[in-house]
Every structure is written in C-alpha cells, then in structure tokens.
C-alpha cells in the first residue's frame, strides 16, 4: 500500500457496492458484532441501507474476498475470525525479485524482532510463557519428526509478539516473518539444530524476564537466517556467472 | 492476520473460485504482467484454466475486491496500480478501543520511524530528497491554507520510507502512520506549527545525509504526537470520572 491506496480509505468516489460494503463494516462496528456473529440477512440489510438485494449481494461478496465475512451455505453470513485481515496484505506474491524481498524483510525483522523479544520479556505473564514454550517444543518435534516446521515456527514468533500486549505487533510479525517461507531450500540439518538452540535461548530469556538476553538471543537467531540468505545470494551469483561464461 | 490466516496462504482446501483466483495470480506472475497491463478476457481465461466463465467471473470479482485487478467498463480487466495491496490490511477499523490502538501504533512507530529516517539519510539520492522536500512544502501549504494536511503528511512519511530503497518499508509506513488519522480532534494551531518545525528538521537532516540528526528529529516529531495522545487519554479519563461522580 502506498499513499494513493491510503487515501482511498476516506475517498468518497466509490462505486455503490463498495459504499454499501463500507456501510456494512460501519454496521458491524456500531452493533459491536464479533467473530462468529451472524449478519442480518440480505433482505434486512437492503431495507436498512436502502439498496437493492443485488447490491447487497455484491457488497457481501467483496467483504468475503476481504475476509470480513464468511458465508455458510444454508446458515447465513457470519463475521469472520479475524475480520479484515487478509493473506499477504502487502502483495509480496507480486514482487519479482524474491531475493531482494527476502533481504529487505530481514532488514525490517532485525529492527523489529529483537525489540519485540525484549518487551515480551518485560510483559509476558505465565500464560504467555506457557504458550511460547508449547510452540517452541512443537517446532522441535516437527524438526525431529522430519516434517515441515515453518507453520509452527511462525506460530512461535506470533506467541512472542502476543506477549507484548501491543495489539499491532501480532499483526505485523507474520507479515515480516513471511521471509521464513522464502528460503526453505537451503534448510539443512545444521540450520535445523541451530534453530532449536536459538529458539530455546529466546524462550529461556523471556521466561526469566531477561529483556536484554531475549533481545540478544533474537539477534543471534536472525543472524543465522542471514547466513542462509547470503548463501542463497552467492548460489544465485554463481549460477549467473556460470551462465555468462558458457 | 495471525498464524491461522498465514497458513491459509498455502492451504489447498479452497473453494473453486478462490483456487481460480490463485491461478490468475500465478498467471500474472508467470507472464510478468505489470500494473496497467490487460488480463486475457473471460473466454480465454476459462479455456486456459479449464473452468466455466461464471467461475472466472467470480474469481475476477474477488481479485477486484483484493485490489489485484480493476475492471474498466467496455475496455476489459487490467492489473491494478499496486496489485494485492489493500486498504487497512490489518483490519484496524475493527478494533474497538481506538485509543489503545493509537498508543500501540505509536509504540511501533517509535521503534521503526527514527530508524527509517536514519537509513533514509544514508541512502537518499537527489531525486528522493527533492521529493521529500516537495511533500514537506505541500504539508506546510495545507496547514497555512487551513485545509486537511493529513493525506500529504502520510505522503511525506512515505517519501522518506522510499528513500531507504527497502521494498518492504514503504508498505509498512502508511499502515503504522494510520495513527495520524486517529487523532485529528486535538489538532490545534500550536501542534500545527510544531509539525512544520519538526518536519523541516527531518528534511534538513536527510538532505545533509545526517543519519543521527534525522533519527533525533523523527523522535522529536513522534514525541509531539505522544503529547497529543496523552492529552486525549486524559480527556477520556476526565469524562469517565465526571460520569462516575454524577
């Protein structure tokens, strides 16, 4: 999103179904409807917003695509689990240079995640620590069982983010840890062992409310990822050189 | 987005129009279609993806809602300006406690934006500096003309973000500067004058490639915002107390 999109948030030049979609969002907020609550049916919404059912249906479809609503066949339309939060919100899938993207994500992670770990260590309560520990163990089990640990790896980082009690950070972290998924290929056994060790160090520091230790452990963890990225870049350059010399 | 959404990125349990939407995204990437390029028509897409035109139409509608495609009546379907980047990607509109959200956004801004200003000062080229300057002047003109300066204020921060040459940062900044729009009410003349002064200090430091100065100037700018937030919180508490004592 750049500023031209940002301005759209308040733009009034929207077509009718988009305006109705915004009115439905306003209705959800004003009626304080929560995840899982049922939306009034198309007929009621049409009467309420003074538009035809076709327009209501269009607006609902666009809110389904934006992950605000979910349609359960034969049951009605409901508020989704995390309304308005979408997969890949920044459109990273559309970036052509994935290696540049991975480096830039890493740069942002390096600025955010050690700080997140530090404030998590200050603010985590017993329930937070129990959850971080459970997810740390889950990643270890995945690795030992030889199954893909990346989904649980993201969950581990999100549980640290939640411990900060800041409502914005748990939304940011999965987006920037997206980079984790960008370099599965170089994942060898040495790196997996290092993941277990550095995750443990982060967990232990947070559990001990050791802010400085948590920050340092997260930096170590991210530096490990950087080694992978550098190796991938070198691999890419070697391939390029090989192609240029043949 | 929390981890359950993140996993959906790779989930295969999607219904047909969603799967077709993903196939269209894959097509855009593999054919290297850019902003403004025309998408093949419904008939071609149906043949290519081996699905009916109704399904193609559903998939296109969902990609319009996700800001991947735009439909120009009578002309066809085109790749949007910033494909996949949506308004309010984290669903902040659905947070009930806007004051808590504003404080949490401020906490994240304070961690990110001084750093962004510092690396912008290192990496900005002459074109970047010219753009930051133009936007700084635009905000000043808005304020002096008594018109809403917030859209140009966000643009000012985005132009600093772009100077970092990091592709992720310009996407993050409008989302976290969302907080700027959350406290228009306390904006008085004193604060507007301070905005002009601190924006100028940020611009001057970046133009001089003074990394430390840019960082410091951004911290001053954000501390100003914090004063506004604290005043809003106090106002809220006073109202609450007044209600409780009556």
CATH of residue A146's domain is 1.20.120.530
- Max mean pLDDT among A35-39, A53-57, A141-145, B133-137 falls in B133-137
Which stretches within chain A are classed as H helix?
3-8, 16-30, 42-49, 53-65, 98-123, 126-144, 150-162, 169-176, 189-207, 211-245
Position A154 in a domain: yes
Instruction: Determine contact: B12 vs chain A, CB below 8 A.
Output: no
Position B84 in a domain: no
- Tell me which of B167 and A15 has the higher pLDDT: B167
Q: What is the mean pLDDT of residues A51-77?
A: 87
CA distance B186 to B227: 10
Predicted TM-score (pTM) of the model is 0.75
Q: What is the pLDDT of residues B174-211, one digit of tens each?
A: 888 776 666 554 456 667 788 899 999 999 999 999 99
CB contact under 8 A, A3 and B65: no
CB contact under 8 A, B168 and A154: no
Q: Which of B3, B7, B104 sits opposite A168 (nearest CB)?
A: B104
* Residues contacting residue A211 through CB under 8 Å, at least 6 positions apart: A118, A119, A121, A122, A205
- Tell me which of B245 and A231 has the higher pLDDT: A231
Q: Which of B41, B67, B53 is nearest to B17 (CA)?
A: B53
A49 and A9 fall within a common domain: yes
- Tell me which of B95 and A136 has the higher pLDDT: A136
B57 and B129 fall within a common domain: no
Q: Which of B44, B79, B114 is the last residue of a domain?
A: B79
C-beta of residue A5 within 8 angstroms of C-beta of residue B87: yes
pLDDT of residue A138: 96
pLDDT of residue A184: 53
C-beta of residue A32 within 8 angstroms of C-beta of residue A75: no
Of A181-195, A219-233, B37-51, B99-113, which range is least confident? Answer: A181-195
B219 and B157 fall within a common domain: yes
Residues of A in contact with B158 (CB under 8 A): 2-3
B175 and B57 fall within a common domain: no
Q: Which of A52, A79, A106 is the last residue of a domain?
A: A79
Q: Which of B62, B66, B158 sits opposite A3 (nearest CB)?
A: B158
The CA-CA-CA angle for residues B75, B81, B87, to 5°, reads 115
pLDDT of residue B1: 39
B184 and B229 fall within a common domain: yes
B63 and B130 fall within a common domain: no
A123 and A165 fall within a common domain: yes
Place of tokens 């550098």: A230
- Tell me which of A176 and A223 has the higher pLDDT: A223
CA distance A20 to B189: 36
B61 and B133 fall within a common domain: no
A226 and A141 fall within a common domain: yes
CB contact under 8 A, B101 and A168: yes
Cα separations (Å) of A9 from A1, A68, A188? 11, 16, 45
3-class DSSP state for residue A69?
strand
> Which secondary structure element, helix H or strand E, spans residue A9, and what is its range?
none
Contacting A residues, span 66-105, partner chain B, CB-CB under 8 Å: 66-68, 81-96, 100-101, 104-105
Q: A11 pLDDT exceeds 60? A: no
A221 and A148 fall within a common domain: yes
Position A197 in a domain: yes
Q: Which of A5, A96, A175 sits opposite B1 (nearest CB)?
A: A175
pLDDT of residue A41: 92
The average confidence (pLDDT) of chain A is 83
CA distance B90 to A67: 11
The CA-CA-CA angle for residues A169, A172, A178, to 5°, reads 140
Q: What is the pLDDT of residues A86-113, one digit of tens each?
A: 667 777 777 778 788 889 999 999 999 9
CA distance B40 to A41: 36
pLDDT of residue A35: 82
CB contact under 8 A, A1 and B167: no
C-beta of residue A68 within 8 angstroms of C-beta of residue A25: yes
Contacting B residues, span 181-220, partner chain A, CB-CB under 8 Å: 181
CA distance B59 to B40: 13
Question: How much of chain B exceeds pLDDT 70, in percent?
Answer: 82
Relative to beta strand B76-79, strand A69-72 is unpaired
pLDDT of residue A22: 83
pLDDT of residue B66: 75
Q: B215 pLDDT exceeds 50? A: yes
CB contact under 8 A, A3 and B100: no
Residues of A in contact with B112 (CB under 8 A): 111-112
Q: What is the pLDDT of residues A192-245, one digit of tens each?
A: 788 899 999 999 999 999 999 999 999 999 998 888 788 877 876 665 555 555
Q: Which of A25, A84, A169 sits opposite B108 (nearest CB)?
A: A169
Q: What is the pLDDT of residues B118-157, one digit of tens each?
A: 999 999 999 999 999 999 999 999 988 988 888 888 899 9
Identify the CATH number of the domain in which residue B51 sits.
Answer: 1.10.10.10
Q: Which of B82, B162, B156, B105 is nearest to A89 (CA)?
A: B82
- Owning domain of residue B117: 92-245
Q: What is the pLDDT of residues B94-107, one digit of tens each?
A: 777 878 888 999 99
3-class DSSP state for residue A72?
strand
Integer Rg of chain B from CA: 22
Position B86 in a domain: no
3-class DSSP state for residue A68?
coil
Integer Rg of chain A from CA: 22
pLDDT of residue B246: 45
Position A144 in a domain: yes
Tokens of B157: 């921060």
Q: B161 pLDDT exceeds 80? A: yes
- Tell me which of A15 and A63 has the higher pLDDT: A63
Tokens of A47: 């009467």
3-class DSSP state for residue A79?
strand
Of B38-52, B59-73, B227-241, which range is least confident? Answer: B227-241
φ, ψ dihedrals at A147, nearest 5° = -100, 165
* Tally of structural domains, chain B: 2
Q: B160 pLDDT exceeds 60? A: yes
- Tell me which of B92 and B11 has the higher pLDDT: B92
Instruction: Determine contact: A8 vs chain B, CB below 8 A.
Output: yes
Query: How many of the other CB atoms lie within 10 Å of CB of B93?
Result: 18
> Which secondary structure element, helix H or strand E, spans residue A214, and what is its range?
helix A211-245
Residues of A in contact with B8 (CB under 8 A): 87
CB contact under 8 A, B2 and A171: yes
CA distance B59 to A191: 40
Which stretches within chain B are classed as H helix?
3-8, 16-30, 42-49, 53-65, 98-123, 126-144, 150-162, 169-176, 189-207, 211-245
Q: Beta partners for B70?
A: B78
Q: B53 pLDDT exceeds 80? A: yes
Position A86 in a domain: no
Q: A156 pLDDT exceeds 80? A: yes
Position A97 in a domain: yes
Tokens of B197: 């002064």
CA distance B190 to chain A (A): 26
A13 and A103 fall within a common domain: no
CA distance A205 to A115: 13
CB contact under 8 A, B82 and A175: no
pLDDT of residue A94: 72
- Tell me which of B100 and B6 has the higher pLDDT: B100
The average confidence (pLDDT) of chain B is 83
pLDDT of residue B121: 98
Query: How many of the other CB atoms lie within 10 Å of CB of A193?
Result: 11
Tokens of A106: 């890493």
pLDDT of residue B223: 92
A137 and A219 fall within a common domain: yes
pLDDT of residue A243: 53
CA distance A226 to A114: 14
**Which residue, among A80, A85, A148, A151, would best test binding to B if mutated, counting the most B CBs under 10 Å from its CB?**
A85
Position B15 in a domain: yes
Q: Which of A47, A79, A111 is the last residue of a domain?
A: A79
């Amino acid at each position: 999103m750049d500023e031209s999109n940002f301005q759209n948030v308040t733009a009034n030049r929207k077509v009718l179904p988009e305006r109705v979609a915004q009115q439905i969002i306003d209705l959800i907020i004003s009626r304080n409807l929560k995840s899982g609550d049922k939306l009034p049916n198309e007929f009621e919404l049409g009467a309420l917003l003074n538009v035809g059912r076709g327009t209501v249906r269009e607006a609902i479809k666009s809110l389904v695509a934006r992950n605000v609503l979910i349609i359960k066949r034969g049951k009605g339309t409901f508020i989704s689990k995390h309304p308005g939060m979408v997969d890949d919100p920044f459109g990273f899938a559309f970036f052509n240079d994935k290696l540049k993207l991975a480096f830039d994500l890493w740069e942002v992670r390096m600025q955010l995640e050690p700080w997140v770990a530090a404030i998590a260590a200050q603010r985590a309560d017993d329930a937070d620590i129990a959850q971080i520990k459970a997810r740390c163990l889950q990643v270890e089990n995945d690795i030992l069982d030889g199954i893909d640990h990346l989904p649980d790896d993201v969950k581990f980082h999100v549980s640290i983010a939640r411990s900060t009690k800041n409502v914005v950070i748990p939304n940011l972290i999965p987006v920037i840890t997206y980079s984790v998924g960008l370099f599965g290929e170089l994942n060898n056994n040495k790196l997996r062992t290092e993941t277990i060790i550095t995750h443990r160090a982060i967990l232990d520091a947070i559990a001990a409310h050791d802010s400085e230790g948590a920050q340092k452990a997260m930096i170590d963890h991210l530096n490990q990822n950087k080694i992978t990225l550098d190796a991938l870049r070198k691999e890419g350059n070697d391939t390029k050189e090989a192609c240029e010399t043949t």
